[in-house]
Amino acid sequence: MTGLLVHEWVAKAGGSENVVEQFVKSFPTADLQVLWNDDPGRFSATTYETWIARTPLRRSKMLALPFLPATWRTLQAHQQYEWLLTSSHLFAHHVQLRGLDREVPKFSYVHTPARYIWEPELDHRGRGPLVRLAAGILKPLDRKRAQESFRIAANSEFTRKRIERAWGRDSDVIYPPVDTDRIIAGGDWRNHLTSDELDTLEALPSEFLLGASRFVSYKRLDLVIEAGEATKLPVVLAGRGPDHDALLARAQTAAVPVTFVISPSDEMLYALYQRALALVFPAIEDFGIMPVEAMAAGTPVVVPNVGGALESVTLAEGGSTIDNPSTQGWREAIETALSIDRSGLPSRTSQFSTTHFRQLIQTWVLGSQPRGPLANDDHRQGNANV
């Protein structure tokens, strides 16, 4: 069966691009349609861009935003596809192709309903007056277009509930792919480091709490420092981003040592996971790849008691949750996480592997027969039973 994969835009780094990479591997004969591609050559699929790719709009997602709904409705089919599979965190699920039968089923894998318009409190980009004004127009349109999808899959139960609130649609849950097999097979990741990386790793405190992500405000890495202060444990922050200076200023006033590891390689990040007492992951995410990576490396995780990361930690029995980031709350959460038996933790992350994801997504698309939109809970089969 010939299909078309659809994605918003291709960035050089991003979790949703990792999903598309597994889409391409799952359906090697499918074409790929994107708004624009900033990482040409990454995917083996024949890739088509839109008119936006030839304009300066590709450099500003917010300026391009008003043009996206119409753009997705005016694309030409390059052949007679038998199904469409979208990877959507904005409007990719709106796609409709000229010259293609409207009865061709459209499957939508949803990372999140557009936070810009549905939950601006979770995304500062949606708080500006122009975007808030546009949201009043885009919400009913987005809800209408979502009804066209034959089936919808959410990347977590947390996202599934938000899809239901925003669009009035139920959805299956298929957790996104994490390269757990590679992390587990790598063994001791110190053996994969360069000499400079090994020197950096060995210079770190013998025990520490790890915070790892982009240095942006909503990741709440300042709370990792609070966790270290509450437990009197040193902190290592790994990543890079615009909040670096603010985090550095906070670190300079911290009651415990705080060390920064800037732009770690994958190998260095995996080694940091293995060296850490625990990964403290305060962000409320749709899913959360890093907690699964840490658990695959054998390291327990502390996550909020709300959000997608809670689900992976619960399913893998790999850590603890915190709902009260007070001194006592952090102490109890860290103590609980450190009591986890690390020995069986990596194997419990296999349910999030890329291999498992490909099996699920192939069955979800190719094993489905068009019978009209999903309408009730009987169709929500969950991650393990799709």
Task: Write out pLDDT tens, residues 263-316.
Answer: 999 999 999 999 999 999 999 999 999 999 999 999 999 999 999 999 999 999
pLDDT of residue 369: 52
- Give, rounded to a whole angstrom, the gap between the first and last alpha carbons of the chain: 20
Cα separation values, 280 from 74, 178, 179, 277, 310, Å: 45, 18, 20, 10, 12
Q: Is the pLDDT of residue 386 over 60?
A: no
CA distance 303 to 311: 10
Query: Would the pTM count as exceeding 0.85?
Result: yes
Question: 97-98 and 47-48: which strand pairing?
Answer: unpaired
Do 322 and 357 meet the contact criterion of CB atoms below 8 Å apart? Answer: no
Determine which helix (DSSP H) or strand (DSSP E) holds 32, and give its type and residue range: strand 31-34
Q: How many residues does the chain have?
A: 386
215-227 mean pLDDT: 95
Domains and CATH numbers, the chain: 3-177+354-374 (3.40.50.2000), 180-350 (3.40.50.2000)
pLDDT digits (tens, 9 = 90+) for 130-158: 667 777 889 999 999 999 999 999 999 99
What percent of the chain stands above pLDDT 70?
92
Q: How confident is the model at residue 123 (pLDDT cuts 50, 70, 90)?
A: low
pLDDT of residue 376: 33
Q: How confident is the model at residue 56 (pLDDT cuts 50, 70, 90)?
A: very high
- The DSSP 8-state label assigned to residue 141 in this structure reads H
Closest CA to 309 of 270, 349, 344, 342: 349
SS3 per-residue string spanning 165-182: HHHCCCCEECCCCECHHH
Cα separation values, 93 from 87, 109, 118, 128, 131, Å: 7, 8, 15, 24, 20
CA distance 103 to 372: 10
